[in-house]
Structure 1
Amino acid sequence: MRWLLFLPLLILLAVFALSNMQEVQFRLWPFDLAWAAPLGVAALILSGFGFVIGALIAWAAGLPARRRARRVEEAARLVESELAVLKAREAALRDAPGPAPMRISLRSGA
């Protein structure tokens, strides 16, 4: 299902990269750094960088939910172990012999 969403974008990026092979220069303003590369390659690299940044943001946004899920799973394990102990106790009480019946003898004639 995801490929149906991303496939058109990937095709568009590949067509753009193949159509724009003229060289461009990228500069980082406060520093004296420059990088010359074909425009299509630069677009693919910047798209990949944007994807990685977006994935990191999505991963960080999911941290609280994963933490809550981990706590809930631990609580469920604890409740399941308590339930198993209670079921074992109930089975032991059900299978244990009850108290012996009392015998009362009445003397008639005293």
Structure 2
Amino acid sequence: MRWLLFLPLAGVVALFALSNRDPVALRLWPFEPSLHLPLGIAVLLAAAAGFLLGAVIVWLSDLPARSRSRAAQRRAASLERELDGLRARERSDAADRLAGRAT
């Protein structure tokens, strides 16, 4: 399924980069040096940088939720262990009561 989505997208990206080969100068004011790249590559690099910045922002905003999730998982595991102990004690008490009646 992934390939069905990836291949057409990769084809469009490749066509875009090949269709926009005119060189452009990229400058960052106040710095003097410039970087000369084909327009297609410059646009794709800008899109990749935006994607990565967005991914980092989402990852950082999700940190509290992941922390709460880990705490809830630890609490659930602790409660399951406690419940298993209580069930074992209940079975033991029931067995003792049965053994007491049998004698």
**TM > 0.5 fold call:** yes
Aligned CA RMSD, in angstroms, stands at: 2.4
Match of 1:75 in 2: 75
Secondary structure at 1:98's aligned position in 2?
helix
Structure 2: 5+ residue stretches without partners:
none
Shift of 1:33: 2.3
**Structure 2 matches for 1:91-102, cutoff 5 A?**
91-96=91-96, 97-98=99-100
Specify which structure has the higher proportion of helix.
Answer: 2
Q: Give how far 1:13 is off.
A: 3.5
Separation in structure 2 between the aligned mates of residue 5 and residue 59 of structure 1, nearest angstrom: 24
Number of aligned pairs?
101
Q: Distance in 2 between matches of 1:21 and 1:55?
A: 28
Return the offset for 1:14. 3.0
Runs of 4+ in structure 1 over 2 Å off = 1-16, 97-101
Counterpart for residue 105 of structure 1 = none
Range with bigger deviation, 82-91 or 7-16: 7-16
Aligned equivalents of 2:3 and 2:54: distance in 1? 17
Aligned to 2:65: 65
Percent identity among equivalent residues? 48
In structure 2, the residue matched to 1:90 is 90
Q: What per-residue deviation string (whole Å, max 9, x for no partner) do you get for residues 54-80 of structure 1?
A: 111111111111111001001101100
Separation in 2 of the partners of 1:43 and 1:3?
A: 24
The DSSP-based 3-state class of the residue aligned with 1:62 is helix
Q: Partners of 1:3 and 1:50 in 2: how far apart?
A: 24
Letter in structure 2 aligned against 1:28: L
Per the TM alignment, residue 12 of structure 1 is displaced from its structure 2 partner at its CA by 4.1
Output one character per residue of 1:34-87: Cα deviation in whole Å (capped at 9) or x when no partner.
100100111111111111111111111111111110010011011001001100
Distance apart, 1:6 and its partner CA: 7.3
Larger Rg: 1
TM-score, length basis structure 2: 0.81
The two structures have a TM-score, normalised by structure 1, of: 0.77
